[in-house]
């Protein structure tokens, strides 16, 4: 049986972007699931379970990230990450108008 694969695109919405604390929250969730996961920003693709690699993305507010998960609970992982990035916005404020 093929391993389930799930993909989505999310947009960074908090003003400060994907700095270290948000990146840590992201990696924490990614490591709770039994999936491999890649995150792409433009031409850069990194391992979504590595804080060092995620910190390399320099994703500013408005940046769109492609997230691809592979594993039995890929769909749940993608949903959890989408919620973290777009709905909870890492618990941070959006840009001031």
Partner 1 sequence: MNLGDMMKFSDFICFDAVIPDLGSSDRDSVISKLVSALDEAGKLGEGNCKKITKAVIDREMEASTGMGKGIAVPHVKHKAVKDVIGTVGLCGVGIDFSALDKQPVYSVILLISPVDFPDRHLQAMEKIFTHIQQEKFRKFLRQCQNAEQIEDLLKEADEDPSL
79 as an active site residue: the answer is no
* Residue closer to partner 1, measured from CB, 8 or 50: 50
For the range 41-47, what are the long-range contacts, defined as Cβ-Cβ under 8 Å and sequence gap of 24 or more?
Answer: 41/65, 41/66
Degrees to nearest 5, angle at CA 38 with 36 and 39: 150
Of residues 8, 19, 31, 75, which has the active-site annotation?
19
Q: Please, what is the minimum distance in Å from the beta carbon of residue 31 to partner 1?
A: 11
- Angle formed by the axes of helices 74-82 and 20-32, to 10°? 160
Q: Please, what is the minimum distance in Å from the beta carbon of residue 44 to partner 1?
A: 5
* Residue closer to partner 1, measured from CB, 4 or 58: 58
Q: Please, what is the minimum distance in Å from the beta carbon of residue 28 to partner 1?
A: 11
Residue ranges in contact with partner 1 by CB under 8 A: 15-21, 24, 42-44, 50-53, 55-61
Task: Please check whether residue 74 is in contact with residue 15, taking contact to mean a CB–CB distance below 8 angstroms.
Answer: no
* Residue closer to partner 1, measured from CB, 12 or 35: 12
Among all residues, which ones are annotated catalytic? 19
């Amino acid at each position: 049986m093929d391993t389930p694969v799930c993909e989505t695109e999310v947009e960074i919405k908090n003003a400060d972007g994907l700095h270290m604390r948000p990146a840590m929250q992201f990696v924490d969730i990614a490591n709770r699931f039994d999936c491999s996961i890649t995150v792409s920003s433009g031409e850069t693709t990194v391992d979504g379970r590595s804080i060092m690699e995620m910190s390399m993305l320099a994703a500013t507010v408005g940046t769109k990230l492609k997230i691809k998960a592979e594993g039995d609970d890929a769909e749940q992982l993608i949903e959890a990450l989408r919620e973290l990035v777009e709905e909870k916005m890492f618990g941070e404020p959006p840009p001031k108008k």
